[in-house]
Structure 1
């Protein structure tokens, strides 16, 4: 494939007749193309720096690598340490503009799922495809951010823009306690009018999609107890049904009575017997028992995903109501662990997608429909969506996430950087 780098004037002539890009926007498009090799070189350096979440020095090294990139663009850079969470911390870069336009928060993460001991460590390019750890999740997203900001600087539209870039260092394995780990991101969301999240662009059936919503990712733990004794007395008036029948009743009623669109409650692990237990991390269960002994304990753990706070609250209420309907001789308790809130599909989020689609029309690109939220996982954008209009999936196209062979479509970095540069430049002109 041959790519021709055009001057701003030549590019304007090459654009479709219906394109409505301004002179500055046309210049930004040309800059992104001109600096494509530079952007890919930065991506390669980032991917070759291991930054598995638990490699604290590697995550901090990513911050040190990016500091001069943002300082050259006029950003003030800081590193936020949160030692209580046992994570490396977060990178934040702030650009002070005129104070008149929309405040914009750009979100990505510098950690990956590939720790220092992983055999998958290097950036490899094959034509328009790159493979490497975190190449699309989320170092490709960071490359889009830098490319877009460089184009804005060259065109003169960055000068008046109020922008904060927050790159979290523990998105893949969030530190604990979560309220402390996400404290600074939440505060950034309260500052912002608009939040743009740079995980991978949704692509399906050859189409590109906009992400205006993501579901939550929270956990639940269900514990049932029963009277133990001889198995021949099960169901009787003295010993009742036992813990396993009780926990089975609850889970069966959940799946038959609670199911609705965009709501899921997966059972990830379960055990029952006399005794049964679960470890402190909530991932390993142990149980023992005999066929002629009524089980005394049963434990199940899973996740709860919902599209809105209202749906989440409604589901929890129904789950607890079902738990309370105990079988004879049993009891049960249900607790929830809040991890990532939902990013509901608000009108403000949809208005952001409409702005991107206006840019698509101006660039002669197809418009994007809303991507079904049940097909996307949770992300850091959910922590700010309650305060700022939010659009997710602004990063490049890629796949095989969280596994060896993770790949990225290199030309999509430029396409996404152009969309972002134009979007941010237009938002910077909108009054708060």
Structure 2
């Protein structure tokens, strides 16, 4: 059921401002169907070109493939170099419309988690499934963007639309500092009225969902220390409990005391001994020790995922309180490394989903309820959601993201291109209002 204020807003808008004409929808449907083979060929070209985040030349090459698709549609292309933060850069494509409708920001990413050294390579079809590294996350999403824009052009609705396509080159492993790596994306959001993100569509048991919220992704590092010595003296006043017991106390405290809705806090890697260490990337640990020596050092790294900035601040404070209650003769420090901020649910985000469901009705597609944010990861939409209403997960249907065997439903490319062409047209026709 629509909230009263949203329902009133929709009623007061003149029909032409919020709906496409039947001929426009027919033209979009025809164009998407005609481009099906072309879009699948584009998907293959994108997937075959490795663009692991640290493969800077590969990311740039995918950017050039996307430039070749967007420039003929009337988009002005800019490459935002990110060498200062150790990344390739971002491709930004801007289409200037009539200046009256809502300004739309479409977000995707050029990179994948699969670096050139990954054994999972190539592109293959199994029936109507495409399989390959990054096929769904997010190369299929970029194909949906291109397919939707081509359909709009065929229907005559692209020419008046103000649209910016922003394809980041380091979504999977952001450059540091992150606020510098995302400064231009944030500025693009400030120059927009609506943001739409094109990672994979949420689907469960055949039902499609709308993503009005996504959680954050932050990493943390816990280091503990203790007095080392012969194990026969552990627990006494001279040696205390050692670093490993202190680490175990804190992690178990997290397990027992932190749980609440929409919160997770995983421990990904840990080590303890005399000594113990972790590499600069925070992914590999080393340790040595003997059973009769009290551990001097222990280290753990994990992530923290929250739904709102308020929840994030509250949980961090509670974690710090748990860390501070040291066992005798031990010390501990907790450090957070900011990653992606959350995309909290909002009235504006839900209004976008209501508009998308109006499009679904026009197209004869099923209504899409809200997806549980605890079942999704973080994405670049988190960087803009505090600035403009945002809807995420508008890409194709797929599975096994970030894993060998990642796949995409090829039929969903056509359905999502049509759905998004109609959705973007409707949004671009709404009065700007500011």
Q: Tell me if TM exceeds 0.5.
A: yes
Query: How big is the shift at 1:54?
Result: 2.2
Per-residue CA deviations over 1:128-183 (Å, capped at 9, x if unaligned) read: 22222222221111111111111111212111111100111122222222222222
Alignment check: 8 A CA contact 2:20 2:422 kept: no
Aligned match of 2:335? 335
**Partner Cα separation in structure 2 for residue 408 and residue 155 of structure 1:** 27
Match of 2:242 in 1: 242
* Structure-2 separation of matches of 1:294 and 1:233: 8
Corresponding position of 1:8: none
Structure 1 unpaired stretches of 5+: 1-18
Identify the residue that residue 157 of structure 1 maps to in structure 2.
Answer: 157
Q: How does 1:122-141 map to 2 (within 5 A)?
A: 122-141=122-141
1:271 aligns to what? Answer: 271
Could you say which residue in structure 2 is the equivalent of 1:147? 147
Distance in 2 of aligned mates of 1:116 and 1:273: 34
**Structure 1 residue 217: deviation in Å?**
0.9
Change (3 A) 1:117 1:248: closer
* 111-120 or 66-75: bigger deviation: 111-120
Aligned counterparts of 2:373 and 2:51: Cα–Cα separation in 1: 28
CA shift for structure 1 position 244:
1.6
Partner of 1:301: 301
Moved more, 168-177 or 325-334: 168-177
Counterparts of 1:358-373 in structure 2, within 5 Å, are 358-373=358-373
1:232 aligns with 232
Q: 2:136 is paired with a residue of what secondary structure?
A: coil
Q: Distance in 2 between matches of 1:232 and 1:402?
A: 46
2:219 and 2:303 in contact (8 A); partners too: yes
Corresponding residue for residue 282 of structure 2: 282
> Is the deviation greater in 111-120 or in 57-66?
111-120
Does structure 1 residue 76 correspond to structure 2 residue 76? yes
Cα-to-partner distance string for 1:200-248 (whole Å, 9 max, x where unaligned): 1111111111111111111111111122223222222232222222121
Per-residue deviation at 1:402?
Answer: 2.2
2:257 equivalent in structure 1: 257
**TM-score normalised according to structure 1 size:** 0.92
Q: Equivalent residue of 1:54, what SS?
A: coil
The aligned counterpart of 2:324 is 324
Paired position in structure 1 for 2:54: 54
How many residue pairs are counted as aligned between the two chains? 414
Q: How far apart in 2 are the matches of 1:133 and 1:237?
A: 55
* Residues 359, 319 of structure 1: alpha-carbon distance in 2 compared, 3 angstrom cutoff: same
Alpha carbons 1:21, 1:362 under 8 Å: kept: no
In structure 1, C-alpha distance between the alignment counterparts of 2:430 and 2:95, rounded to whole Å: 17
Q: CA deviation at 1:44?
A: 2.1
Deviation per CA, 1:340-361: give whole Å up to 9, x if none: 1111111111111111111111
What is the aligned partner in structure 2 of residue 311 from structure 1? 311
Counterpart-to-counterpart distance in 2, 1:121 and 1:278: 30
Distance 2:20 2:243 in 1: 67
Change (3 A) 1:322 1:114: closer
User: Which structure 2 residues correspond to residues 403-418 of structure 1 after superposition, within 5 A?
Assistant: 403-418=403-418
Query: Secondary structure of 2:237's match?
Result: coil
Greater CA drift, 248-257 or 63-72: 63-72
Q: What CA distance in whole angstroms lies between the structure 1 residues aligned with 2:319 and 2:167?
A: 36
- With 59-68 and 193-202 compared, the bigger mean Cα shift is at 59-68
Cα distance in 2, alignment partners of residues 46 and 302 from structure 1 = 32
SS in structure 2 of the partner of residue 423 of structure 1: helix
**CA displacement 1:62-81 (0-9 Å, x = unmatched):** 22222232111111011111
> Could you tell me which residue of structure 1 aligns to residue 212 of structure 2?
212
* Aligned residues: CA RMSD: 1.7
Counterparts of 2:115 and 2:286, CA distance in 1? 28
Q: Structure 1, residues 396-431: CA drift from partner, whole Å, max 9, x if none?
A: 111122233222111111111111111111111112
Aligned mates of 2:211, 2:118 — CA distance in 1: 31
Q: 1:288 to 1:131 in 2, by over 3 A?
A: closer
Pairwise CA distance, 1:337: 0.3
**2:64 matched to which residue of 1?**
64
Shift of 1:119: 4.4
Q: Spell out, residue by residue over 1:285-329, the C-alpha distance to the aligned partner (whole angstroms, 9 max, x if none).
A: 222223332222221111111111111000000000111111221
